Amino acid sequence: MTVGIKLTTSANVKTFPREFEFGAATSSYQIEGAWNVDGKGWSMWDQLVRTDPEFIFDNTTGDIAANSYYLYKRDVEMLKELGVDNYRFSISWPRILPNGRPDYVNPYGIAYYNALIDELLANGITPFVTIYHWELPQTLNEQGGWLNEDIVDWFSDYARVLYENFGDRVKHWMTINEPYVHCYFGYGVAQHAPRIYSPGVGYYECGRNILLANAKAYRLYDTEFRSSQGGEVGFVVSMEWPIPESNSQDDLEAVQDFFAFNIGQYMDPIFSENGNYPQRMIDRIQEKSLNQGLNASRLRPFTEEEVEFMRGTADFLGLNHYISKIVYRNESLIGKYHVPSSQDDAYYGEYTDPSWPVDTGFVSDYAPGFYNLLVHIKNTYNNPKIYITENGCSTSTGRNDYHRVQYYRNYLNALLDALAEGVNVKGYFAWSLMDNFEWSFGYTLRFGLYEIDMDDPERTRYPKKSALYQVLSEEMHRLLGLTRCAGNLKTFPPDFEFGAATSSYQIEGAWNVDGKGWSMWDHLVRTTPQRIEDMTNGDTAAKSYYLYKRDVEMLKELGVKNYRFSISWPRILPYGRPDYVNPYGVAYYNALIDELLANDITPFVTMYHWELPQNLNEQGGWLNDEVVNWFGDYSRVLFQNFGDRVKHWMTINEAHVHCFLGYEVALHAPQISLPGVAYYECSRNILLAHARAYRIYEAEFKSSQGGEIGFVTSMEWGEAESNSTTNRQALEDFLSLNVGQHMNPIFSDSGNFPQRLIDLVNSASIKQGLNESRLRPFSEEQIQSIRGSADFLGLNHYSSRIVYRNESLNGTFPVPSIHDDIFFGEYPHPSWFHHGGYVYEYPRGFYDLLIYLKENYNIPKIYITENGCPSVRGLNDTDRVRYYREYLSAAIDAIDQGVNVRGHFAWSLMDNFEWTSGYTIRFGIYDVDMDDPERKRTPKKSALVYKEMARSRVIDYDYDVDPYAPSSASGINVSIFITLLLATLRVLV
């Protein structure tokens, strides 16, 4: 007997009103293309992309864009697939009136929009039409555009043509889109068409004329068309929400000025009882103008007749909202702004909180700001009827837009809260239905629910996760919640272990206390501090030398069973050799190990994580064959002092990364650049040193201590750019270097370096006139010593690469160098989410790598000893949560295929010194306040979610928790408990 179960918790469900409407939005220039066909005239954007092509980030244009002029039926089909009620699109002024004036109306333009409107109505979708979305005919732009008062009449004449031709079917009009953005970027700072730089003058003239043009188009409809057509006309304003940086009087005043200049400038004339600009704005600009020696204000006043003409000229507000800002006013603003300018007039500073998740462009996720803005509009402007006409965020290319899914969920939740407060919101339009030309960003930002392949002449559309997730589907019209069911869970094997990882130099600090010697990183940060991105160092780092008990407490909070940490070679042997063992160093690690064991946490100890004693470095370091014996002697000291309690050792961390960055390209310590030579010597000696330590343990300690020793290597996965023979060979060579170089000698039947790698380096060396290979061969005795010298593999994995080989690589690489030897190119696929640094999210690559290791090597067992992604400072690290879920899901899939993965260590337990990146990127699941002398640690969202995975032993994609309210994470996840209980009962039945 089986029972199908779907659990829904009513307390976790929020409901939209039955009459609430959903839609998606676009604009004409951004999607239509067909820029010069069927009689369309030039717009000022057609002019800009031809006269200033370099001004577009990727040097693209809207000439073809999404090709919607020809593919409008597919666009309507997409709306049907989404299940939405409404479509907001704009009409191209120069497509209707090529010369800007109604003396010639283009019949082809009329026919196109008639066809689109009819197609929408035939599919039960209501058109919401924007009359002007920044596409001014170039002929009118050349006559002054929005700086010419005659544009009020030009716009009214254009609106009349639209009402006459489409008003029998279009019942929802919006006059002008985002006047603040249009005027500021077009006439204030010259970053959009028409690129007129007139801050503090042209900017205000543009805004003034837009308000009057809206009013004239509204009055026209009101007097001549409303009675027969029965529609409504709205005005679309983009608004941000301000948050004072502090409760100081200056910052509170700055927020009031933000309201006046950012919101009130366009809201007050239309939606307030008084009409006109905010008095605060009028007075400020008047005062500034007089102080600047002018006879009149740069903000040209409205007459009383104009004030009355504008007031009430919108049946609804179209609200576009993307972002909130922290607002402040202090002495740092002195001299910051151009005089005159609107910024100098308003005189406040603004920024986004670094803890808010950021998309690929300008949007930060802070949904409470959306709620506060909506309530503010209700309370300030007599609760007008509102449509959310744009809301969304950007991603790079690709369909796995998890960040956008979370953004929509957060903002729709905030919208529901505003509805509960009585805010009169009638509908919501996602920006955007599809990827499009994002103005000066070109196609580098993608806001679409549907991906457009801009390299495909057919501009094929593909639904992204945000579309498939049905955020805007019929179900989501009525329901927004976190309903969990058994199908949304993935289960870990019962013996799978969770842990977290760190390394000594990155967290300990105390660089020169209690007898510790210098490491080569201590030397680097003193001799070449400019190598570190933020000019910081590991002198104090996370202060774990003093705060190790708090670190153990964090591991307990997480509920993990294992902790991977490394031992600082110069803290144990200040001079590198065992003739002096530092008792304080031994005491520190004894205390740490004992604290872990007292809390039932198993230590996994890395002997060497790049912290070579400086005096050994000065003797050649990893280029000196003697380092094999030095490392063997060091390992013996560790076994003697800690091996009674440490049962899981790892010898050397990431040989490939250490040798490449330290000895090939000189980015890391010891900053030696001998490409194609030193890298291979470093790698060779690391393998021999590892084997030396393994054999010492095997011969002298294993029988009494009963532990195991592993080797830790970092591997990326490669995907061939195409299925061509050349690219497949490039991938094989990539794998021989990045995987086989350190896996083959230890885990293959034959031992030694991969034959392919040996042959490639040998061939390149001979071509360069050398008598022998730069890859010095192992002796047969050395091969036998290395082979089988690991009881487990420690796998560090972060990212994958696309691999290729073609003529573009000719002359690219230094000769000699490892890249010239192996001769492949690599890059991240543009669809992979970029977390920062070198990490691009492609969990399929993790799965493929694990399968590849199983099929090609004799690996006793695997621990994932590092895996994670960076972020900027902040607790709400939703991207990292997604990364861990997806990569652990891939690990479970690999385990299901027989890969012997025993555990996972999150990198990193806490924010730390990230080598040459300093503290600019943060890998920690605990935030460390590096400005606090006490280095306060705070769990991020990823810590709380990782804790739940470790506790429940499932990946629940719907589990959510607020990192700013940690008490909410302490309770049991009831729905998971019930789901697992019922699943167990089904088995028992």
Give the catalytic positions in this structure: 178, 390, 654, 866
Task: With beta carbons less than 8 A apart as the criterion, state whether 207 and 163 touch.
Answer: no
Cα separation values, 364 from 358, 418, 930, Å: 4, 20, 23
Torsion of CA 746, 752, 756, 759, to 10 degrees: 160
The 3-state secondary structure of 834-869, one letter per residue: EEECCEEECHHHHHHHHHHHHHHCCCCCEEEEECCC
- Residue 710 CA to residue 718 CA, distance in Å, equals 24
CA quadruple 69, 72, 78, 79: dihedral sign: positive
Backbone angles phi, psi at 316, to 5 degrees: -155, 160
Task: With beta carbons less than 8 A apart as the criterion, state whether 542 and 507 touch.
Answer: yes
Determine the residue type at 304. E
- Which run of H or E residues covers position 319? strand 316-320
- Which run of H or E residues covers position 825? strand 825-827
Cβ count near 686 (within 10 Å): 26
Task: With beta carbons less than 8 A apart as the criterion, state whether 828 and 398 touch.
Answer: no
Q: DSSP letter string over 110-150?
A: HHHHHHHHHHHHHTT-EEEEEEESS--BHHHHTTTGGGSTT
Task: With beta carbons less than 8 A apart as the criterion, state whether 447 and 432 touch.
Answer: yes
- Which run of H or E residues covers position 431? strand 425-431
Q: DSSP letter string over 723-758?
A: SSHHHHHHHHHHHIIIIIHHHHHHHSSS-SS-HHHH
Please name which of 65, 91, 155, 82 lies closest in space to residue 124, comparing C-alpha atoms.
82
Cα separation values, 293 from 287, 290, 339, Å: 10, 5, 12
Cα separation values, 168 from 85, 107, 217, Å: 19, 17, 17
Please name which of 92, 49, 227, 213 lies closest in space to residue 146, comparing C-alpha atoms.
213
The 3-state secondary structure of 452-512, one letter per residue: ECCCCCCCCEEECHHHHCCCCCHHHHHCEECCCCHHHEEECCCCCEEEEECCHHHHCCCCC
Strand duo 425-431 + 386-390: pairing:
parallel
Determine the residue type at 680. Y
Strand duo 232-238 + 172-177: pairing:
parallel
- Residue 749 CA to residue 165 CA, distance in Å, equals 79
Q: DSSP letter string over 52-94?
A: -GGGSTTS--SSSTT-HHHHHHHHHHHHHHHT-SEEEEE--HH
